[in-house]
Each structure stands twice: as C-alpha cells, then as structure tokens.
Amino acid sequence: MLHRSADDPDALARIARAAGVTSRRVLDAVRDTRRALFVPAVYEDLAYADEPIPLPHGQVTTQPSLSALMVAALDLTGDEEALEVGTGFGYQTALLARVAARVVSIEIWADMAEEARRNLAADGIENIEVMVGDGTEGAPAHAPFDAVIVSAAFPEVPPPLVGQLRVGGRLVQPIGPGGREDVVLYERAVDGLTRVRILTRASFVPLMGRHGYPRPG
C-alpha cells in the first residue's frame, strides 16, 4: 500500500542511512534529488515515501533507499563511466549522475525514456545519455564501463554486460526470476564476474530483452 507523504529528500536520505548507506556522496545525492520530478504526476504527493510507485507498462520505480543502497555498492568516486539498465522515470539515473562522471542509461520503453529525459533536464542533470533499446545488450559503442547497475531481475547477468565492464569494475543486479530476488554485488575479474556479496533481498520486475525475458506484445 502506498502511504501519503508530505516529507522531503532529507527524509529519504535519513531512511537510506538507516538502511545501511554510509557513503556521504550517495546520501548527498539523495538529498539533492527531488524525487517529485521523477514520478507520475498522479503520485507526486507520494514522492517522498520510501516505497515503489507504479509506472506505465506494468513497471514500478525502485524504492529510493534500495536505489541508494545499490548505487552506494558501486563505490564510485566521481570519475567513472556508469551504465544503467532500466531508466524508468530517471530517479536512480539522477543519483548515479551525481556520483559518476557520466551515465549511459537504457530504457526499453520509448515513452518512458522520453519522460526520463524531461525529468533529468528539469533537475539540471546533463552528464547522462538516455537511450531506447535492449538493455541486456548493453551499450557497446560507449563501453567499457567502470560500473553497471541493472534495475530488473533475471537469474543470471547478461553476458554483454559482463563483457562491457572494465576489469575491477562493479556490477549490481537483482538475481532471480522477478518477484523476490537477491540483489547481488559483483566485481569484474579477468576471467569474468566474481560474486562479492548479497546486498539485500527485494522484489523487482523481470528483465526484458534478448538476454532476459521476452518483451510482452
């Protein structure tokens, strides 16, 4: 159930800290990002509740504290190139953009990608490129990346994403069929991914694409 909230980004930063986010840079990104810009207008009064919010095409936003936890696990210093799979309306993209040098984000739904572009521009964020396409294929023209974050669930990491991640880079993805997953942090080794740890358990929508589940319709 969605609960009405009259709070602000400072409240979301406090919740993220209580959820285990210790990175000052990520917490500052949460404080600086107006989530109300990144949700459908009908849900604007719920923007500062730490809960998922429905999006078009049966999608949902990631819970803000969970987005912060996933971004923090990438351990970005500000000089990195990051890839995001699943832009949604752009809230997590905004967090990434505030802690990385540049972000490439891929959204499978063209109308959602366009909405995300408008939202990010309204928040003054410029170091991003939102692309429409199959996120499971990554963005080879922009690779290699120092970090990858996947906002949908699949039982394994798509091979193209592994191949486009620099050695020593980090990747976060919910691992499971969609509905209740382990959110896992990996690090890229010379011979592939090394599983570092499980960040938490959470529910995500299924990852769609050539290396995921078929897109409906």
Task: Give pLDDT tens digits for 90-138.
Answer: 999 999 999 999 999 999 999 999 999 999 999 999 999 999 999 999 9
Give the pLDDT score at 7. 56
Instruction: Please provide the average confidence, as pLDDT, over all residues in the chain.
Output: 94
pLDDT band at 5 (very low <50, low <70, confident <90, very high): very low
Q: Which two tokens stand for residue 172?
A: 């976060």
| Contact residues for 128 (Cβ-Cβ < 8 A; gap 6+) | 93, 97, 102, 103, 104, 105, 120
Count other Cβ atoms within 10 Å, centred on residue 156: 12
Give the pLDDT score at 146. 98
Q: Answer yes or no: are the C-beta atoms of 71 and 90 closer than 8 Å.
A: no
The residue type found at 85 is V
Helix residue ranges, H only, the chain: 9-18, 24-32, 64-73, 91-99, 110-122, 159-163
**81 bridge partner residues:** 102
Give the pLDDT score at 179. 79
Give CA–CA dist 161/31, Å, rounded.
30
The yes-or-no verdict on residue 1 having pLDDT over 80 is: no
The yes-or-no verdict on residue 6 having pLDDT over 60 is: no
Q: Kindly report, residue by residue over 136-157, the tens digit of the pLDDT.
A: 999 999 999 999 999 999 999 9
- Picking from 98, 46, 62, 13, the residue whose alpha carbon sits closest to that of residue 200 is 62
Q: Answer yes or no: are the C-beta atoms of 171 and 161 closer than 8 Å.
A: yes
The yes-or-no verdict on residue 66 having pLDDT over 50 is: yes
- The β-bridge relationship of strands 181-189 and 165-175 is antiparallel
Give CA–CA dist 211/100, Å, rounded.
26
Q: What is the pTM of this model?
A: 0.95
Give the pLDDT score at 217. 65
